[in-house]
Structure 1
């Protein structure tokens, strides 16, 4: 089972929300990670500097927090690598057909009361719940 960390979760959620609000306030852009990353792939969009800074911050910030604390993160997974790759592919297909990722719909879209984001969030949360139930209780879990 996963360790429950309410204070760290609250802090992380607050920082994600703050970054989404600041990006919308200063750039008028949605903080959907997939959309931000897509703008860095060829053909590179003209607004690549803020996109690169956002992605760099998402990578460097956790490294700084780990360096400042004495915590270590285990990168081991009980799930076999092929299942992880297949899961990533399925998520990518969902992002494509859902016109956005969980951060774009779940954080930014819900905050803007977007009906499309509400529908997408309900669907991906229901799918995640069903997937966890099936993997843990029907297939025997990992």
Structure 2
């Protein structure tokens, strides 16, 4: 647990440090442009540059890459292979018999995978054996 807390703390500290650095850089850019171009044109130029950076960042993040599509296809085929191991009738009968138990099992499994991936397999097996 201490390793997870340290990672969370380090992540928060990194985000806050990056945000503070970005704010300071924007202030320095605005002051430099205001001193060189005057208050109206300096602020307009700073806003235009920041808008250009925002558009470039959004475009680079939202643009789908080929690696992401290949990774998504790999995940889909792995999930399809895993599901194909179970007969469809048995799976639908299990869902009809125990809908609430399977919903709770899915939520619990997701929580434990996020919290402690090492225990996830053992807990998933015990939950499924309890439902069956």
Q: TM-score, normalised by structure 2?
A: 0.34
If each structure's helix is expressed as a fraction of its own residues, which one has the higher value? 2
Structure number with the bigger relative contact order (C-alpha 8 A, sep ≥ 6) is 1
> Which of the two has higher C-alpha Rg?
2
